[in-house]
Amino acid sequence: MPGVKVSVLLPAAGSGERIGRGPKAFLEVGGKTLLDWALEGFAWADELVVALPPGRNLDVPGIKTVWGGKTRQQSVFNLVQAATGEVVLVHDVARPFVVRAAVERLLDAVRGSGAATLAVPVPDTLVQEASGEYGAVIPREHYRLVQTPQGFRRELLWNAHQKALAEGLEFTDDAQLVRWQGYPVALVEGDRRMFKITYPEDLLLAEGLAQVWSSSPRPR
Ligand code: C5P
């Protein structure tokens, strides 16, 4: 976004419980930690701020760090507080493959509306689980899977975080928090390669993608 300072905020303080191999940000895929993938993917940013789990340090010149909190929201609160950009992009390090074209689409939307997130269509049939049985089918064309990065004018996100803290409310992402404040959040077409590593088998997919990611020409 020419002329506008962009801070990229990386919450990296999760414990990675569902994978069970220590803090997820420090798991390796294709010979690099998930945090390193994210730092490389956003190397163009005017400012990078990382929220670290207790006891971890990051000695990378030019990168700001803050301590993470008990929840993702608390980690992002600390990140927004430390950020100086007019626009902030919040990105989970659990999504190592940063597709530049999708990020550009997001930045365009943030420039227009002040708040936007990447999202992708639901590929599978979506159904309610009713006591172990196949319940009502939900029309998947009306739903989206929300990705990161999510982009906001920093003031907008900061105000929303302060209000959520004051009211003791916790949200799983920042778009929810901003929307809760009555501010519309644009949905921007994401990219399925920006999937989130959550379960052990996701690491296998990530290893496969890591192999083609570094090959030339770059798949993004
Ligand atoms: O656990 P989950 O995959 O939903 O976490 C999403 C992102 O939030 C991850 O990048 C994780 O490191 C981060 N996180 C954090 N502080 C926490 C919990 C999660 O920075 N307390």
Task: Report DSSP letters for 168-182, one per residue.
Answer: T---SSHHHHHHHTT
The pLDDT of 115-144, averaged and rounded, is: 97
Sorting pLDDT into bands at 50, 70 and 90, what band is 220?
low
CA dist 14 and 54 (Å) reads 10
Sorting pLDDT into bands at 50, 70 and 90, what band is 9?
very high
CA dist 177 and 8 (Å) reads 18
> Which atom in ligand 1 lies closest to the alpha carbon of residue 18?
1
Question: Pairing state of beta strands 6-11 and 87-90?
Answer: parallel
Per-residue confidence (pLDDT) for residue 22, from 0 to 100? 81
> Which atom in ligand 1 lies closest to the alpha carbon of residue 197?
3
Judged by DSSP in three states, 76 sits in helix
Per-residue confidence (pLDDT) for residue 218, from 0 to 100? 57
Ligand 1 lined by 188 (C-beta under 6 Å): no
> Which atom in ligand 1 lies closest to the alpha carbon of residue 34?
10
Decide if pLDDT at 219 tops 70: no
Ligand 1 lined by 181 (C-beta under 6 Å): no
Decide if pLDDT at 1 tops 70: no
- Per the prediction, the chain carries an average pLDDT of 94
- What digits encode the pLDDT tens for the residues 38-70? 999 999 999 999 999 998 999 899 999 999 999
Ligand 1 lined by 51 (C-beta under 6 Å): yes
Paired strand residues for 127: 137
Compute, in angstroms, the gap from residue 3 CA to the centroid of ligand 1. 31
Decide if pLDDT at 120 tops 70: yes
Q: Ligand 1 atom 2: the closest Cα is on which residue?
A: 14
Q: Where are the domains of the chain?
A: 6-215
Per-residue confidence (pLDDT) for residue 216, from 0 to 100? 52
- What digits encode the pLDDT tens for the residues 154-176? 999 999 999 999 999 999 999 99
Ligand 1 lined by 34 (C-beta under 6 Å): no
Ligand 1 lined by 19 (C-beta under 6 Å): no
**Contact of 25 with 58, CB cutoff 8 Å:** no
Ligand 1 lined by 65 (C-beta under 6 Å): no
pTM of the model: 0.95
CATH number assigned to the domain with residue range 6-215, chosen from the 4 options 3.90.550.10, 3.40.50.80, 3.50.50.60, 1.10.340.30: 3.90.550.10
Sorting pLDDT into bands at 50, 70 and 90, what band is 19?
confident
**Contact of 197 with 96, CB cutoff 8 Å:** yes
